């Protein structure tokens, strides 16, 4: 995997102007107000996952338009105190999978809410949440990026980002969670959703953003060599008359714009040989992030990033942030 983007010294200076629609804040305030009209009353069903040290609940909470969103809620077994909670989002076309795939944070003494991604979960880990808001009448390219992309109101990622914000709100009312200590995290698409939640949700105390997707779209479409960003390129190559509208829609869900509204301490990571989420798109979001921040660089890795090495950094960051 060769370097295909800017050099590290160039990346450390790369802070492009944001492409932000004038009604960005109004759009998201209205979208979230509509979602919040549905009371946040999550349901929890205890699951026998065969684990002795971790308690697992099957979670359902109301997301966009009140649609039921599935997830897992895990806690260290037998602990009665209110704990910090990590809300985790999943990469592109992955789902919540099975409970034993999510042992790290509960084993480290944190509550852990894993959000399923609506309509996804048939690519590499199973999902269980349908996309109830899908509109099949508009042409789209295979995948999720162009689903409803003719308008920011109908675009798939309006629904998914709203779900991500509502997941934070669900975590803050979970039994045994300290609502003042909720962190968000994710890699790739999950990292982009963590950025969105950090910028839009109330009460986010920390953010862990790894090799984030959904950032600096125009640049990503020009330099990414592996999907998902090329889905948009292939769509625009055919739907030539829609390019301006596509770029407008994308600007409403851009991690660069969400980053400018985030204030929680953040740990980012970037992989300099990443062909999927180019390093320049990650640094664009990083440099616009408004809160305290640190970047972990993996110089010889692709989109896998730091993997278990980055998990060590997560635990250190959480310990420093939450004092446990």
Residues annotated as part of the active site:
188, 274, 303
158 membership: H or E segment, kind and range: helix 156-172
Which positions ≥6 away from 140 have C-beta within 8 Å?
A: 146, 147, 148, 149, 235
Tell me the DSSP string of 210-263: ES-SS-SHHHHHHH--SSSHHHHHHHHHH-GGGHHHHHHHHHTT-HHHHHTT--
For residue 218, the tally of other CB atoms under 10 A from its CB is 14
Alpha-carbon distance of 138 to 128, in angstroms, equals 24
177: three-class secondary structure by DSSP: strand
For residue 307, the tally of other CB atoms under 10 A from its CB is 12
Query: By the 8 A CB rule, do 293 and 266 touch?
Result: yes
Our separate counts of H helices and E strands in the chain read 11, 9
Tell me the DSSP string of 78-146: T--S-EEEEEEE--TTB----GGG--HHHHTT-EEEEEPPTT--SSSB------TT--TTS---SSSTT
Which positions ≥6 away from 18 have C-beta within 8 Å?
A: 254, 256, 257, 260, 288
Which DSSP state fits 65?
G
Closest CA to 222 of 278, 273, 303, 148: 278
């Amino acid at each position: 995997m060769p370097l295909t983007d800017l050099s590290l010294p160039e990346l450390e200076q790369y802070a492009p102007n944001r492409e932000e629609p004038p009604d960005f804040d109004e759009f998201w305030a209205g979208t979230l107000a509509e979602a919040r009209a549905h009371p946040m009353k999550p349901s929890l069903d205890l699951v026998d996952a065969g684990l002795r040290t971790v308690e697992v609940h099957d979670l359902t909470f109301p997301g966009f338009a009140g649609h039921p969103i599935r997830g897992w809620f895990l806690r260290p077994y037998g602990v009665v105190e209110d704990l910090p909670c990590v809300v985790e989002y999943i990469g592109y076309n992955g789902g919540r999978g099975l409970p034993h795939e999510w042992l790290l944070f509960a084993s480290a003494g944190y509550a852990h809410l894993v959000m399923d991604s609506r309509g996804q979960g048939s690519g590499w880990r199973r999902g269980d949440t349908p996309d109830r808001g899908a509109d099949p009448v508009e042409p789209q390219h295979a995948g999720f990026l162009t689903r409803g992309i003719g308008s920011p109101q109908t675009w798939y990622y309006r629904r998914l980002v709203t779900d991500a914000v509502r997941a934070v709100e669900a975590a803050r009312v979970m039994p045994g969670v300290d609502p003042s200590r909720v962190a968000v995290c994710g890699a790739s698409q999950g990292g982009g959703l963590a950025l969105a939640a950090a910028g839009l949700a109330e009460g986010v105390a920390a953010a862990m953003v790894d090799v984030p997707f959904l950032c600096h779209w125009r640049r990503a479409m020009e330099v990414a060599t592996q999907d998902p960003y090329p889905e948009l390129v292939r769509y625009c190559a055919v739907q030539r008359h829609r390019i301006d509208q596509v770029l407008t829609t994308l600007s409403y869900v851009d991690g660069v714009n969400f980053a400018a509204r985030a204030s929680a301490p953040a740990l980012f990571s970037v992989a300099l040989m990443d062909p999927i989420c180019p390093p320049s798109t990650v640094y664009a979001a990083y440099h616009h992030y408004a809160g305290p921040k640190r970047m972990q660089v993996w110089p010889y890795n692709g989109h896998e990033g730091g993997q278990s090495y980055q998990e060590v950094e997560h635990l250190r960051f959480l310990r420093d942030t939450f004092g446990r």
